[in-house]
Amino acid sequence: MALISTSIRTLVIATAVIIAAILLVVTAVLPQPISTTTPEPRQSEFWLNRFDEINRRIEQGNIDLLFIGDSITHFWEGTIYPTDSEPHGTAGQAVWDEYYSQRNAVNIGIGGDKIENILWRLDHGNIDGISPKLIVLLAGTNNAADNTAEEIADGIVAIIDKLQLKLPASEILLLSIFPRGEHPNILRTILANASQTAAAIIAGRDKVHYMDIAANFLSNDGILSPDIMPDARHPNEQGYRIWAESIEPIVSELF
């Protein structure tokens, strides 16, 4: 009996070791989810230069209105890579000048940023020493291919948590993530669900406001026209005008 028990024990241990080894291999092979709540920098020269440029502007102060985001926000200043529809890279600059140039507004969007990259920037100078009256936040579209709606929402809320901790006097306007793709698609659904989930989490918070303007870019049957977003992701001048006009009532109220 002792011999049998010893054999069984040995078999159990060996099986456990094999299972653990298999799990380690599977874990190593399978792609791991990208955290939206762990701050992470990027290392490209383009990103580092833009990051330093933002910090230099922040150090100058005199900022009443702050736009935070990725390329969709960045392109208020003009597209990084001109397209046939924006041959001179104009994008939202004319609309920005019309609506925000007299409001001490600063744009700290960086093309390609994911939520975790924005979180890192907020810890490394991008909002140091300022106290804007209003912050407009649009983030999350670049996480759509790597994260679930819940993970994206958690990251958005993490940004708001950080903003409220570091800039407690500022009003925050969170925008729903803009639609992407000419026709309804899975990424649109993920982003819409992420926006709704984040909105539900922050509902009732002092100084935090949510506005869903996604439908303003779409036709009645859900088509995103190239006349508004030529690449079905980034607005052109007409798209930026829709953005500015859509939020102007609440901006005027909070500013």
Instruction: Say how far residue 218 (Cα) sits from the centre of its chain.
Output: 20
pLDDT in tens, 94-153: 999 999 999 999 999 999 999 999 999 999 999 999 999 999 999 999 999 999 999 999
Q: Domain locations in the chain? A: 1-30, 33-254
pTM: 0.85
- Tokens encoding 190: 């993920």
3-class SS letters over 216-245:
HHECCCCCECCCCCCCCCCCCHHHHHHHHH
Q: What stretch of H or E contains 200? A: helix 186-202
Residue 249 has pLDDT above 80, yes or no: yes
What pLDDT was estimated at residue 12? 43
Look at strands 105-107 and 134-138 and give their pairing: unpaired
What does the mean pLDDT of the chain come to? 88
> Phi/psi zone of residue 224: left (φ > 0), alpha (ψ -120 to 50 degrees), beta?
beta
pLDDT digits (tens, 9 = 90+) for 35-86: 999 999 999 999 999 999 999 999 999 999 999 999 999 999 987 666 665 5
Looking at per-residue pLDDT, the higher value among 59 and 255 belongs to 59
Q: Does the domain spanning 33-254 belong to CATH 3.10.105.10?
A: no
State yes or no: pLDDT of 181 exceeds 70.
yes
User: In this predicted structure, what is the pLDDT of residue 210?
Assistant: 98
pLDDT computed for residue 91 by the predictor: 85
CA 187/CA 146 separation, integer angstroms: 10
